[in-house]
Structure 1
Amino acid sequence: MKNFTKYAKQIFQVGSGNFLEMYDYMIFGLYASIIAKVFFPNENHFISIVYAFGVFAAGAFMRPIGAIVLGGYIDKFGRKKGLIMTLGLMSIGTISIAFCPSYEQIGIIAPIIVLIGRLIQGFSAGAELGGVSIYLSEIAPKGLKGFFVAWQSGSQQIATAFATGIGVILHYYFSDAMMESWGWRIPFFIGCLVIPFIFYIRRTLEETPEFAKNQAHQIKKTFGALLKNVFQNFGTIIVGIMLVMTTTVFYYFISVYTPTYAKEVLNFSRIESFGVTVIISLSNLFWLLVSGYMSDRIGRKKVLFTASLLGIFISYPLLIYLTNNISFTNLILVELALSLVYGVWNGTMTVTLSEIMPSSVKAMGFSFSYSVAVAVFGGLTPAVSTFLIEVTQNRAIPGIWLTCVACISFVAVLIIRKKIS
């Protein structure tokens, strides 16, 4: 019981910042159609939404830079110091967006402030996720590493449920006009209010035993030496990017893009669009933890092959079925099926990625692989989906995007099959 309490506390401490990161990302995605009107007004609402999602993607493009700079800092000076720094930067981004005046009030300065806020958030997020995953892998007891690391993504699902739950409540009590006028800022203000609390609990983190043991050696390493090590293991980085593609694209589709997809493409109400995302985030959490635990029991390889094959064969058919049989029940069922693919894949993929990275650049290598995948594929998923639907007039076309990335991740598992259990 003593160890359980200790581990639960550590998971909570390190996962809290990850919670804030995903909460920030979610509320931007959830309110993208409103943010488009407030900061990127255009006679064509489709263009406004693309601009908003373009800024969303711009934050993702900063992730690789953050992964190198902050990931290197984490590898050199420690997990605790690095995670406190990422939290500080993340907070700046949250506050800048929450208090930014509208385009109507200050003109072109408004979207510039929003863009800068997203860039800062993306920069910090580049190493936050990797730092948390590595921390959890280094404190995990023997035989439970997969289950422990799964809590990194688990904290994100809790953030998703929290963010969308707030959305459901707000849209229940406030009219669409009130939400578009000022109500959309409330979730951002809530994010600002929890920042001091998260700072407090993260400052109480202990350094991981594994880093503490090698601390003297790591501090002597120059940043250039860390970068050199990364380039020496560039093949592993590429495979890592291929592995993360399914994680990030499926997540951004079923969680970040779904509210906009359901509202703008399938014509559901905002409450229904947000409500399904709450359900999906809880489903994600369940499958992530089950997958992490199962990978500890039966091996990473079997779980990864199963999840990637599911992604390949069911994604497009599911969206075809949904768009031909639109109902709230079918929306939930299709999203739950895609949640199964995401949760089972990512619950095992994250710990696998932490295990294949060299120990000397574990945080930087992990963060860079993850960040590039998010920047190039995940962060662009809402914009790509919106663009493809507009160009092809096929509302199921995002399923092809999901299928393609699942194929690439399947190839990555084939490449590393001899290196994993």
Structure 2
Amino acid sequence: MSSYSAVPGRVPASAPSTPPRLPRRAALGAVLRVTSGNFLEMFDFFLYGFYATYIAQTFFPSDSEYISLMLTFVTFGAGFLMRPLGAIILGAYIDRIGRRRGLVLTLAIMAAGTVLIAFTPSHAAIGVAAPVLVLIGRLLQGFSAGVELGGVSVYLSEMATPGRKGFYVSWQSASQQAAIMVAAALGYGIGQWFSAAQISDWAWRIPFFIGSLILPFVFHIRRSLAETEAFLARKHHPSLREIVSSMGRNWALVGAGMMLVIMTTVSFYLITVYTPTFGKSVLHLSATSALLVTFCVGLSNFIWLPVMGAVSDRIGRWPLLVTFSLLALFTAYPSLSWLVHAPTFERMLAVELWLSFLYASYNAATIVALTEIMPPEVRTTGFSLAYSLATALFGGFTPLVSTWLIETTGDKAAPGIWLSGAAACGLAATVLLYRGLVKAR
């Protein structure tokens, strides 16, 4: 089976469903405006992961470095638990009120969380209020992020020119890679300009301040978005009760969608957010080396995502999903074992670029496939709920699980087991969805 059209009741992967929504030049401009929020979201998420040790010292001080770091990652993961709630509430808002207005609202909530984390005083200054405020900031970010990715992906799928839906939707993930590269470059600059003591004391906050400063610009360009014609042409916009009812009827579809996304979320957070900590704390490489590897991973993802999105438009989603879930299943642990056996910058770069290729190729097909399998009237809610559940239960806790696995097993390559399990979930979901075993109702 080489095409999405082979599944009864599904939209073909490359067949045009409606006339072109926008002229190509206008469509590319819309891509930039709508993905700006994704850029900001991942910019903050990556910074939290990269500066986890400094955040731990500032907000979660402890006599044990392991406990302090674990508390930091627990707070990081707690934001993901808000995603399913955000997916239902904000997703229903977007499906009922409109794509444009919903994306502006999600950006406002995300901005509140970003500013809170950037400006919260240290534990030494205000005591237990410091970690509480950071936790609130992460919960606000998680609530917003529950629908941000889904809202952007659905918007891109609905305004894409015929036969290029996979290419256009892939830019949602590509914008996150641009954020990673910018954040990594900032981290490198700070490492060069400030001493270790200055970074630990206050300089780690600088990138968070920069994120706060670009918020007004992101608001401005997102407010200029036009509503999609697909949404405007819809005769009925469901109420929250109707949307919840549809999610109940389609629980199997949402569950299969969640399984499909698990590999995407686990692999993404493993090779981006967790990589700097893994390189510094586990492999004992320099912070500069870990940052350079992370920058290269972001660049690799940025290149491969639109390329493989376009490939999925040509050959269908099924071949990419099967091929790259299998490759991840059988190569994740061996490649990490090879790295930790003799950790060097060159080995880490080679392994991370391989995992980047697997992630980008699988993700390019996954995101657009998720927009196609959901019923149109609840597309944003269904997409966001499936994605947020995968992130909340699996992907978002990847740094925490990886840290725990290494500590418990004594095997520095143990995160590869976690990724292999995620790949097995993706493979099973692909079979369920593309063999017609789970369908929309």
TM-score normalised according to structure 1 size:
0.98
* Residue 135 (str. 1) matches residue 155 (str. 2): yes
Aligned residue in 2 for 1:195: 215
Cα drift, residue 418 of structure 1 = 3.4
Aligned residue in 1 for 2:400: 383
Task: Give, in whole Å, the separation in 2 of the partners of 1:62 and 1:416.
Answer: 27
Q: For residues 120-142 of structure 1, what are the alpha-carbon distances to aligned partners after superposition, in whole Å with 9 as ceiling and x for unaligned?
A: 00000000000000000000011
Q: For residues 293-338 of structure 1, what are the alpha-carbon distances to aligned partners after superposition, in whole Å with 9 as ceiling and x for unaligned?
A: 0000011111111110110011000000000021100000000000
Aligned residue in 2 for 1:262: 279
Aligned residue in 1 for 2:12: none
Task: Give, in whole Å, the separation in 2 of the partners of 1:280 and 1:350.
Answer: 19
8 Å CA contact 1:90–1:125 kept in 2: the answer is yes
Q: 1:413 aligns with which of 425, 430, 434?
A: 430
Q: 2:236 aligns with which of 217, 221, 226?
A: 217
Q: For residues 232-286 of structure 1, what are the alpha-carbon distances to aligned partners after superposition, in whole Å with 9 as ceiling and x for unaligned?
A: 1111100110010000000000000000000000001111111111100110111
How do residues 289-300 of structure 1 correspond to structure 2 at under 5 angstroms? 289-300=306-317
Paired residue total: 416
Aligned residue in 2 for 1:168: 188
Task: Give, in whole Å, the separation in 2 of the partners of 1:223 and 1:5.
Answer: 35
- Structure having the higher helix fraction is 1
Q: What is the one-letter code of the residue matched to 2:414?
A: I
Q: 1:252 aligns with which of 243, 255, 269?
A: 269
Secondary structure, counterpart of 2:418 in structure 1: helix
How do residues 11-50 of structure 1 correspond to structure 2 at under 5 angstroms? 11-50=31-70
Q: 1:362 aligns with which of 372, 379, 395?
A: 379
Cα drift, residue 290 of structure 1 = 1.3
Aligned residue in 2 for 1:104: 124
* Residue 347 (str. 1) matches residue 364 (str. 2): yes
Task: Give, in whole Å, the separation in 2 of the partners of 1:245 and 1:172.
Answer: 37
Task: Give, in whole Å, the separation in 2 of the partners of 1:192 and 1:387.
Answer: 32
Cα drift, residue 81 of structure 1 = 0.5
8 Å CA contact 2:267–2:419 kept in 1: the answer is yes
* Gap regions ≥5 residues in structure 2: 1-21
Cα drift, residue 7 of structure 1 = 1.3
8 Å CA contact 2:92–2:239 kept in 1: the answer is no
Secondary structure, counterpart of 2:343 in structure 1: coil
Task: Give, in whole Å, the separation in 1 of the partners of 2:176 and 2:110.
Answer: 15
* Residue 307 (str. 1) matches residue 324 (str. 2): yes
Aligned residue in 2 for 1:119: 139
Task: Give, in whole Å, the separation in 1 of the partners of 2:317 and 2:408.
Answer: 39
Task: Give, in whole Å, the separation in 2 of the partners of 1:192 and 1:45.
Answer: 29
Cα drift, residue 173 of structure 1 = 1.4
Task: Give, in whole Å, the separation in 2 of the partners of 1:403 and 1:301.
Answer: 19
Q: What is the one-letter code of the residue matched to 1:138?
A: E
Q: What is the one-letter code of the residue matched to 2:126?
A: I
Q: For residues 100-125 of structure 1, what are the alpha-carbon distances to aligned partners after superposition, in whole Å with 9 as ceiling and x for unaligned?
A: 00000000000000000000000000
Q: What is the one-letter code of the residue matched to 1:272?
A: S
Cα drift, residue 4 of structure 1 = 3.1
Task: Give, in whole Å, the separation in 2 of the partners of 1:272 and 1:178.
Answer: 20
Q: Which runs of 4+ in 1 moved over 3 A?
A: none
Task: Give, in whole Å, the separation in 2 of the partners of 1:60 and 1:176.
Answer: 31
Aligned residue in 2 for 1:278: 295
Q: For residues 143-179 of structure 1, what are the alpha-carbon distances to aligned partners after superposition, in whole Å with 9 as ceiling and x for unaligned?
A: 1000000000011111111111110111111111111
